[in-house]
Structure 1
Amino acid sequence: MNKIIALVVAVVVLVLVASSAVFMVDPRHVAILSSSGGSTATLAGPGLHVKLPPPFQTATLIDTRIQAFDAPDADRYTTSDKTELLVNPVVRYRIGEPLKLFAATKGDAQTLSDRLAALTRDALGDAFSKVTLPEALGQQEAIANSARDALRQAAAALGIDVIDIELTRLDYPPELADTVYKRMSAVREQGAAEERAKGAAEAQQIKDDAERKQQGIVADAYGQAQAIKGEGDGKAAAIAAQAFGRDPDFYRFYQSMQAYRDSFKPGDVVVVDSSSDFFRFMRSPNGDASPAPAAPRKH
């Protein structure tokens, strides 16, 4: 009976040892085989594997899929103009070198999270310290890309390939929100005032240019008009000289009629001396007759 019990115990022990010595790795993971003696760890890919039973050898599974690390609480970051912001980042990464990660963390998932969180804070802190508040609000993608590049270099020592960083939240701390909003409003008002002043200056410049062009056009037109007038006066003088040469008496008569027309307007009352030479053509068609004698007065 004792032999049967001993045999059963031996079989059970053998099964337990065998079950702990054989393990399966699925395609989503790799296994790190390590021994308590501190010998070099080895990598086991997907499939069925055999190892020494614990505590002689241990298999640690490492997930090789793309994973996301999301900090449970928002961290505070300070911009170059000394403004604090609350930021929640999400880091997407993949374990590219499991042996390097195992050497750094001994397969402890919490250690990995702590190391990755610290590296992320350093990368984001450096990225935000290089931009002002308006730039941080308007260039979130560029800031995330800058932090991703820095984190990618730092995480390479852990065997981690950083794929992307996304800023899911970017906000002001409650105690600073009102101050920041007032500052942003003042900045926007200042920008609007500068744009209005710039627009007014451009409008005045356009007006001044238009006035200069107008003055130039008017001056050119006046010069052309004077030239045309001078040309017309010259032709008129030539025609007058020609007319005078042909018939001096008619020319003098015509000129006198023109003078009468320019001197007397409808409704005017003019008191003049009728014997004046100016009215000679009113006394005679040829303008050389003596004034008619006054009629004798009757007594």
Structure 2
Amino acid sequence: MKTKKFYIWITVIIILIISFFMMGPFYIINEGTQVVVTRFGQIVQTQTNAGLYFKIPYIDQVTTYPKLILSLDGDAQRIPTAENQFIIVDTTSRWRIEDPAQFYQSFKTLDAAFNRMSDIIDSASRTVITGNPLSEVVRSSNIINEQESTEFSLAGASGNESDETAAQISSLINAATVSESVKKGRRELTLEMVQVAKKMMDEYGIELIDILPRQIKYSDELTESVYNRMIADRNQVAQAYRSFGQGKKADWLGKLDKDKKAIQSDAYRQAEEIKGKADAEAAAIYAEAYNKDPEFYTFWKSMESYKQTLPKFNSTYSTGTQYFDYLYSPEGNR
């Protein structure tokens, strides 16, 4: 009889234990998560470390939140800058739940937190951007004004000539293209956005890590103005190259004409010298030939003259002159 009662109690205890475990008295926290335990709507504990924990079945409710860094992509919004120029700004931010109990009291769900945070970040972005000029929003440094002039390598030019050419072209291109200097820059403005947004997020148990502009683009009316300015800048650069090329062309043509005249002058001088020497040699040969046989020399010179002049005469009215003695006189020029 006692043995039978003992087995009954053992069975009841086992059934109770099994029923207890079936009601789920334990819960597991995985790595990268944290939980808030509530009892009748009141927070009784928070757990941020991974492990196995106990709860009262059917009474304690466990709400799990991520402990990792989360991202929030905001909607693109149209924001005016300090110059009242509208730009389209699309931001993304990183954040995490720092105090799960405070987060639960503020939102309870991640979707509600996303909606509220999106409003706060959009407001902070608008506040900072509207107080700064366009150049501060789209640029991070003054490197565009501080960069060195581009080096140009010209075929056939020495190193010194190439440097001088690069300096001349650079002075023409950069004469009126100095951009507005940046005092803060885009990075500094994002830090200001974080500071403005943090003031409104501390009460929610949220740690905002950063806000980054994912995309900044001009509005439609500003885009056309920017394109026109870019076209004007490129036209200025093209005109600078054309002007420099025309100047170089004039220099080269002037040098070419000068070299041409120098070559012609030298050639003319050499030709005259050669002519003078040839005439002197011819005169010496003629004199030597005349001294050897004056009569034959006179005859030969007359024949040469006839060969040059007679084809040009259409008619001859008199042959009695001494010029024609070797043609018509039987005794020649005697």
Give the TM-score normalised by structure 1. 0.53
- Counterpart amino acid of 2:187? E
- The one of 201, 214, 220 aligned to 1:168: 214
| Corresponding residue of 1:25 | 29
Q: Give unmatched runs, 5+ long, in structure 1.
A: 1-6, 193-299
Q: Work out which structure has the larger RCO, using CA pairs closer than 8 Å and 6 or more positions apart in sequence.
A: 2
- Counterpart amino acid of 1:159? G
- CA distance 1:187–1:92, shift in 2 (3 Å): farther
| Corresponding residue of 2:61 | 58
| Corresponding residue of 2:276 | none
| Corresponding residue of 1:150 | 196
Is 1:99 the counterpart of 2:101? The answer is yes
- Counterpart amino acid of 1:153? K
**Superposition pairs of residues 281-296 of structure 1, within 5 angstroms:** none
3-state SS of paired residue (1:40): strand
**Superposition pairs of residues 46-125 of structure 1, within 5 angstroms:** 46=49, 47-54=51-58, 56-71=59-74, 73-106=75-108, 108-125=109-126
Distance 1:91 1:41 in 2: 31
- Counterpart amino acid of 1:38? G
Distance 1:44 1:50 in 2: 11
Given that residues 193 and 211 in structure 2 are in contact (C-alpha distance below 8 angstroms), is that contact kept between their aligned partners in structure 1? yes
Instruction: Give the C-alpha shift of residue 52 in structure 1.
Output: 2.0
Instruction: Give the C-alpha shift of residue 77 in structure 1.
Output: 1.8
- CA distance 1:132–1:23, shift in 2 (3 Å): same
- CA distance 1:188–1:134, shift in 2 (3 Å): farther
Distance 2:211 2:43 in 1: 34
Q: Give unmatched runs, 5+ long, in structure 2.
A: 1-11, 140-184, 237-334
- Counterpart amino acid of 2:22? L
Instruction: Give the C-alpha shift of residue 92 in structure 1.
Output: 1.2
Deviations 1:121-179 (A, max 9, x none): 11101100111222222222121111011112221111111111111210023354214
Given that residues 91 and 164 in structure 1 are in contact (C-alpha distance below 8 angstroms), is that contact kept between their aligned partners in structure 2? yes
- The one of 8, 13, 22 aligned to 1:16: 22
- The one of 180, 205, 223 aligned to 1:177: 223
Is 1:133 the counterpart of 2:137? The answer is no
Distance 2:103 2:209 in 1: 17
Instruction: Give the C-alpha shift of residue 38 in structure 1.
Output: 2.5
**Superposition pairs of residues 195-234 of structure 1, within 5 angstroms:** none
Moved more, 73-82 or 92-101: 73-82
Instruction: Give the C-alpha shift of residue 59 in structure 1.
Output: 0.6
Q: How many residues in Structure 1 have an aligned counterpart in Structure 2?
A: 179
Given that residues 41 and 99 in structure 1 are in contact (C-alpha distance below 8 angstroms), is that contact kept between their aligned partners in structure 2? no
Deviations 1:233-282 (A, max 9, x none): xxxxxxxxxxxxxxxxxxxxxxxxxxxxxxxxxxxxxxxxxxxxxxxxxx
Instruction: Give the C-alpha shift of residue 40 in structure 1.
Output: 3.2
Distance 1:176 1:51 in 2: 60
- Counterpart amino acid of 2:119? A
Instruction: Give the C-alpha shift of residue 11 in structure 1.
Output: 8.3
Distance 1:51 1:187 in 2: 72
RMSD of aligned residue pairs (Cα, Å): 3.0
Instruction: Give the C-alpha shift of residue 21 in structure 1.
Output: 2.1
- CA distance 1:89–1:60, shift in 2 (3 Å): same
- Counterpart amino acid of 1:121? D
- The one of 32, 44, 48 aligned to 1:45: 48
Instruction: Give the C-alpha shift of residue 187 in structure 1.
Output: 11
Distance 2:60 2:111 in 1: 22
Deviations 1:14-35 (A, max 9, x none): 4430xx3211112312110012
3-state SS of paired residue (2:43): coil
- CA distance 1:176–1:12, shift in 2 (3 Å): farther
